[in-house]
Structures are given as C-alpha cells and as structure tokens.
Amino acid sequence: MNNHLQFFIDGSWVDPVTPRTIDVIDPSTEEAYTAISAGAAADVDKAVRAAKSAFASFSLTSKEERLALLKRILECYNDRFEDIAQAVSQEMGAPLPFARDSQAWAGRGHMEATIAALEGYTFSEERGSTTVIKEPIGVCALITPWNWPLNQIVCKVAPAIAAGCTVVLKPSEIAPISGIIFAEVMAAAGTPKGVFNLVNGTGPDVGQVMAGHPDVDMVSFTGSTRAGIMVAKTAADTVKRVAQELGGKSANIILPDADFETAVTKGVQGCFSNTGQSCDAPTRMLVPADRHEEVLAIARKAAEAFRTGSPKADGIDLGPVVSQIQYDKIQRLIESGISEGATLVTGGPGRPEGLNRGYYIRPTVFGNVTPDMTISREEIFGPVLSIISYKDEEDAVRIANDTVYGLAAYVQSTNIERARAVAKRMRAGSVYLNYPAWDTFAPFGGYKQSGNGREYADWAIHDFLEIKGIVGWA
C-alpha cells in the first residue's frame, strides 16, 4: 500500500477533504501509472493550521535540536535513496543513472550542505548596545517544480527547518511521487507533528491558496516566471515575503582563447543535461563570428553522440521531456527557429528515429541564430541549443545581458583573469567559469525576471529568517 492518494498533515497521512484525483503520466509511455489526490482550499487550511500550531514550539528549539533532526532526515533519505531515484525516473523520464547520480544525489547534497551550514551559523550578534537576533519567519509555503524535484524540495525544506520554521509543501502535480516518498522520509525521521506538511494538487487550487493564505508568512516558489508573477501578486495582499527562482535563458560565452573542442562539446552537454529541462542550462552559445562554422561542426558531433530512448534502457543519455504540454511547446519553438531563418545543424522537429511513443525530442542544434529570434529569447526547456556569433568581447557581453532573465551565465577561457573580468559584467546570479563542479554551498538565484532571494546552504537559511534588533540590550 502506498500514500499516493493521501496528504501528510500534522504528522499523519490523511485523506483529502473532498476526494478528487489527478493521473500521473509516465512520459516514456504517455500512459498513467498511478494517481494522486488533488487538494483544495480546505486541505490547505488544515495543513497551515497544523504548521501554525507547531511553530509556537518548534521556533523555540535550539540549533542543536534542529541539527539532530536534519541528521535523522539525511539518514532516512539515504535509506530511501533508490526508491527516490526510481520514482524520479518514472515520473519525469530521467534515465536511471542520471536519476541516481544527479536527481536523487541533489537532495542528499543539499541536506549535507544545510547541515554543515547550520553547524557554523550564528543567530545573534552584538552591535554596541544592540543585540541583533535572527528568528524564524514563521509558516512557509513551499511550491516546487517537476524538473529537479528533490533538488528543489530539499533546498527549501532543509533550510526552513534549520531556521526553525514550519512548512507546507506542494510538489508539482506532474512529478509528485518523489515528493510523497520525501514526506515518508520526514515521518520516518521523527519530524515533530505539524513541522512538515504536504498537500498535492494544482497551482490554482493549492499553490495560489497557499500564497494568499493569511497565516502563511513566506512563500518560496520555483517555476516559470509567468507562474511566479501570479504567486507574487497573490502574496502581496497579505504582505508576506516571497522568494522566487524562476526562468532563465543563460548565455555561454566562449572567448577566442578557449579550447574550442572542449568548450563547445561541454557546452552542448550542459545544454542537453536533464533533457534540457534545467532553468540554468547554457542554452545560448556565444562564439566568435570568424569561428562560427568550426563551432557548428563540433556542436553537431557532440549532439549526435547523445542517445535518446527509454529511461529504463542501458546506455541512454536523454529520456523524454516530462509532458505533452512541454513536448508541444518545444516542437513549436523548433519550428520557429526554422521559419525565422536559423540554420538547423542537427535534430529538428518530431521524435528521434525509432521512437513512436513517448515525449521524446530530437537533440537539436541551431546555428546562425540572431539575438532577435524566438529561440534566442524564449526559454525552451528542452535539448535545443542556439549558437550566436559575436564581433568582440564587448559585443558578447552585450548580447549575453540582452535578456529579461538573469539566472546564470557561463564563460570559457584559458585565461582565468579574463574569464573573471567578463564574469563580473554578467547580469546573472550565478556565473560558471570553465564548467566547474556543482557547488551546493554557492548562492543560487537570479537577477531580473529570474527571481529574487538565494538558495543553497547558509544563503537559504538566511532567507527564512527575520531580523530583530533589541536596542539597549547591553
């Protein structure tokens, strides 16, 4: 028996107030393989009420007590690691090795980083006669996406608990099963009643209700910029804090002194990772105009090395994208690239050869893309790379920053000082030099329409705290 049709509220698995279900689709088969309950306002009320009641005592716990809880959660997470990986693979189509080594690992990595950050975190400081205290903000509504389910769940839940907050989580209804397993982890770890609650459902029926609920003190949202704007507008009526990690259209500047074989190949791999379903993917590759044709040849070779197929099969690099809606959107944008005059280097519309069912996308590279083209401006969220020429470094920086987004940027150069100088000019929350390893202690978040606030480690803990100055303490 599983908990797919129940919510986790006040320390127990409970039925929805009004029974309704949502099918969960396996994107590799286009068929439903289970169903979850669809929550509504009454379910949100129960969960928020439980979180508010628990906050009174949990907010007063010591750092040591919260550390002990997080360590128990990590232990239970590791016990369920394979279950989590299998769930992610089926619900979003990730090849199983990737589901283990990246998707499930991300949850573990963020839990470990939060524990390390909390161990060294100071919740008060003296400034003359004033004591400044950092206190938990309160009840937090956490709304997470389908593309990196455990990454986003843990990098919100863990720092909220580290800060002393209580939470209500709404995972994406498209990929919800890993979130249900995470709730089972929280229960197994002995999380106090009401500290962690989970309600499944759609954005309008659950997410928006959470954002507007008068007893919710903060909303942390990851998703599209369009949905983030709606969440922020709803939250504004009750003047609650809103932290958002939204869309991106990240530029990857390959400077003339880079090793082009390595830089272009890794750039294609970075764009196509997770089947292109990452908000910080390097989807715009900016290259010197006089080396454009050379880059296209390298990119074609790199893209055509990717193997697309069933996430259950051996040796597969790319599974399907997550849904029919995503598939149709990506097809529309590939068609727009062709119709607007970009050079189709490899890939293109339709499914890869031999795949007649499932939301599979042909790994696609466009060359001779201009900054005004749709594929250069819209977030595609699939394995589609746009290669754009620049005249000189100044032109590259201008093109890179000419976007409403500002989540990430990438710079490749054999001259680290030059790469650092260009990085300082990028209007983005994260800049990655020469494809570094994932750093769960680096701040993560965006400029402009890519959001506000920062996640990961101590940066995230800070976002879940209020600042109180007690003047005259000394």
Which residues carry out catalysis?
245, 279
Separation of first and last alpha carbons in the chain: 58
Q: What's the order of all strands across the beta sheet hosting 166-170? A: 12-14, 7-9, 196-198, 166-170, 139-143, 218-222, 241-245, 451-452
| Percentage helix, strand, coil for the chain under 3-state DSSP, each rounded to 5 | 40, 20, 35
Q: Residue 454 contacts by C-beta under 8 Å, 6 or more apart in sequence?
A: 429, 443, 444, 445, 460, 462, 463
Q: Are 114 and 454 in contact (CB under 8 A)?
A: no
Residue 214 CA to residue 317 CA, distance in Å, equals 45
The sign of the CA dihedral 354, 93, 211, 451 is negative
Contact 346, 304 (CB under 8 A): yes
Buried (b) or exposed (e) across 187-209, using 16+ Cβ within 10 A? Answer: bebebeebbbbbbbbbbebbbbb
The DSSP 8-state label assigned to residue 412 in this structure reads E
Is the Cβ–Cβ distance between 146 and 194 less than 8 Å? no
Decide the pairing of beta strands 430-433 and 408-412.
parallel
Euclidean distance between CA atoms 243 and 421, whole angstroms: 29
Dist. CA 145–CA 151, nearest whole Å: 10
Q: What angle do CA 315, 109, 319 make, to 5 degrees?
A: 25
Tokens of 153: 């769940």
